Amino acid sequence: MLYIYFMQFRFLFLMILTISCSEEPKEDSEYIWDSVVVTASAYNSTVRQTSGNPNITAFGDSLKPGMKYIAVSRDLLRKGLKHNTPVVIEGFEGIYLVKDKMHHKWRNHIDIYMGEDIEAARAWGRRKVCIDFRLPKEE
């Protein structure tokens, strides 16, 4: 009897799985992706490189090594790279989030968070990269 219930459950599970997998993937119609070439440098959680608490961003988020976060210049904020905007950076894997903003003096610039690894930040240096970022689609 237990075997029959198991087979019925298995059949039902496979039917639901088949139905859900047969749907075509939905387009991300709520968002568009844009790209821009920026100057990219790196920063760390050190007192010398920040104003105030080195583990708190200008938006109030907490920083911990290993997080994929970036800071953006304020002109990029006006272009749509606002707090928590997903960003893909040329030369890096994964998606980074905008979690910090830079001093007013910077233009067309991002800072990639590299935890406490000062040597990795120095090795990265400063270079031009293309970034892709997600924006809400305007209606």
**pTM: predicted TM-score of the whole model, two decimal places:** 0.74
Q: Are 81 and 90 in contact (CB under 8 A)?
A: no
How much is the pLDDT for 60? 85
CA 28, CA 32: separation in Å to the nearest integer? 8
Q: Is the pLDDT of residue 18 over 90?
A: no
Question: Which single residue is written with the structure tokens 């997080």?
Answer: 67
Greater confidence (129 vs 22) lies with: 129
How much is the pLDDT for 90? 94
Could you give the 3-state DSSP secondary structure of residue 70?
Answer: strand
pLDDT tens, residue by residue, 96-132: 999 999 989 999 999 999 998 999 999 999 999 999 9
Question: Nearest to residue 36, comparing CAs of 102, 132, 111?
Answer: 132
pLDDT tens, residue by residue, 71-104: 999 999 999 999 999 999 999 999 999 999 998 9
How much is the pLDDT for 26? 39
How much is the pLDDT for 53? 75
CA dihedral 11, 15, 18, 23 (to 10 degrees): -170
